[in-house]
């Protein structure tokens, strides 16, 4: 605990609900909670909600970060007895029913763990240090700065090998994030970068998409995978399936097959693991997720619930738990928000049932794939329209919906991305040339 600060949460006679995380799960939980019956305290490391499905557009200069973020204080400013604290929860004491932060200890009646997930590097520390994950807005801004900076440096280097390496980009993991980022980079290469850097030959820029399974979008249908791969290859993305990354030294990606790829930028979206809270019993954690029952309550506990990416609810339909997608978090948050008072009053509650509303992925302009309920699969422009509508509909706040819509209309008409500013330079510790240039330019 840090001296001189405290949580300053008012005492209450109502049951106190502590929520860790302001993502899709936490946000929808608070929306549905009867706040007259509870005191709600939300903790998050950021003071905003992030619309994660569009992070790749921030990273590829399509959107500004404030277009996909909403302040957590403002969202619930009209809610009685709602309190937000910009703090990381360090641990939980299940027996004492308290959580620990740097600002002190807080008791709870109900604890909701909605902390989401983080990139899983599977123990490869070199890849973790040198690649770019894409789970938060700061990470998206780091990647955007990296992308713009490598082209700036490529324009002034006289070493052909270094120029080629600077212009190459490798994306590891061909799920929706990898596929959508690859498509966005391919469109940048075709429509935007040649205008910004006329001295560079972008026909020599290679975009690699590396996937360990036998197809891209492995969580979607075979139809979606086939269509997406065909579109990506038409956009000259080099797709490598059945390929696993063995290591990366900042310049060369090594595959387990022995093949190497020269690339100064590696984007990592090959897997995630739950952001687990310290203090939970080890037997309630499996494969990086917290095991919960069919009411979202953490196994072996009372009054502690987990929802969204961090939770694993096993069932006959989902023996390995639900997929780590926004809809699961939204539906779990809504379910718990509607039923927490019934749990408190010990009234009977039906178990959680996930309704799969389908899966979407966009590859680029007029190109998308969609698996919809009723075993309906579509691709191309119709799927792209569905993707546009769904993503705008689920953005937080009218302002963000309007900003994103205007940005997309502008980009569609002009074939341009207007957010290619290096506002916050990011230089990797191993990038000696970048460090020298930054030092000379006093970019700190």
- The catalytic position among 37, 152, 180, 444 is 180
Q: What is the pLDDT of residues 162-219, one digit of tens each?
A: 999 999 999 999 999 999 999 999 999 999 999 999 999 999 999 999 999 999 999 9
Range(s) within the chain of domains with CATH label 3.50.50.100: 125-270+365-436
| Structure confidence by residue, pLDDT tens digits, 257-292 | 999 999 999 999 998 899 999 999 999 999 999 999
Q: Is the pLDDT of residue 114 over 90?
A: yes
Q: What is the pLDDT of residues 57-111, one digit of tens each?
A: 999 999 999 999 999 988 887 888 999 999 999 999 999 999 999 999 999 999 9
Question: pLDDT value at position 86?
Answer: 95
Residue 422: its pLDDT value, please?
A: 75
Residues of the chain with CATH 3.50.50.60: 16-45+87-119+273-344
* Fold assignment, 125-270+365-436: FAD/NAD(P)-binding domain (3.50.50)
Please confirm, yes or no, whether 442 is among the known catalytic residues.
no
Q: For all residues of the chain together, what is the average pLDDT?
A: 92
pLDDT, one tens digit per residue, over 393-428 is 999 888 899 989 998 998 888 877 767 777 766 666
User: What's the predicted TM-score (pTM) here?
Assistant: 0.92
| 16-45+87-119+273-344 fold | FAD/NAD(P)-binding domain (3.50.50)
Say how many residues make up the chain: 444
């Amino acid at each position: 605990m840090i001296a001189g600060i405290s949580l300053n949460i008012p005492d209450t006679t109502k049951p106190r609900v502590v929520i860790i995380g302001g993502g899709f799960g936490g946000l929808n939980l608070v929306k549905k909670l009867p706040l007259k019956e509870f005191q709600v305290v939300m903790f998050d490391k950021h003071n905003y909600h992030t619309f994660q499905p569009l992070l790749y557009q921030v990273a590829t200069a399509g959107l500004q970060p404030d277009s996909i973020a909403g302040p957590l204080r403002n969202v619930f400013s009209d809610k009685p007895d709602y309190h937000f604290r910009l703090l990381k929860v360090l641990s939980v004491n299940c027996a004492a029913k308290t959580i620990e932060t740097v600002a002190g200890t807080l008791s709870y009646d109900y604890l909701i763990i909605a902390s989401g997930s983080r990139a899983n590097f599977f123990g490869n520390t070199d890849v973790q240090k040198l690649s770019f994950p894409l789970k938060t807005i700061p990470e998206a801004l780091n990647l955007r700065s990296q992308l713009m900076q490598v082209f700036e440096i490529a324009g002034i280097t006289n070493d052909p090998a270094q120029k080629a390496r600077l212009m190459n980009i490798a994306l590891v993991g061909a799920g929706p994030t990898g596929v959508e980022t690859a498509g966005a980079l391919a469109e940048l290469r075709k429509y935007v970068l040649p205008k910004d850097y006329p001295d560079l030959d972008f026909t020599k820029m290679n975009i690699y998409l590396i996937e360990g399974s036998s197809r891209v979008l492995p969580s979607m249908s075979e139809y979606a995978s086939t269509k997406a791969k065909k579109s990506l290859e038409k956009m000259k993305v080099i797709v490598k399936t059945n390929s696993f990354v063995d290591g990366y030294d900042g310049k060369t990606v090594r595959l387990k097959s022995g093949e190497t790829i020269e690339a100064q930028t590696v984007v990592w979206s090959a897997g995630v693991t739950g952001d687990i809270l310290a203090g939970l019993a080890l037997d309630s954690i499996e494969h990086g997720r917290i095991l919960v029952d069919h009411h979202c309550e953490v196994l072996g506990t009372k009054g502690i619930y987990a929802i969204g990416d961090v939770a694993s609810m096993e069932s006959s339909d989902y023996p390995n738990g639900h997929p780590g997608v926004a809809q699961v978090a939204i539906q779990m948050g809504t379910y718990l928000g509607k039923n927490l008072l019934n749990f408190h009053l010990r009234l009977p509650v039906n178990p959680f049932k996930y309704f799969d509303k389908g899966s979407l992925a966009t590859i680029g302009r007029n190109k998308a794939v969609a698996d919809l309920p009723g075993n309906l699969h579509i691709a191309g422009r119709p799927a792209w329209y569905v993707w546009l509508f769904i993503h705008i509909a689920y953005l937080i706040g009218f302002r963000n919906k309007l900003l994103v819509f205007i940005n997309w209309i502008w980009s569609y008409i002009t074939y341009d991305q207007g957010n290619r500013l290096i506002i916050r330079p990011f230089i990797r510790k191993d990038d000696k040339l970048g460090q020298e240039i930054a030092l000379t330019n006093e970019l700190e």
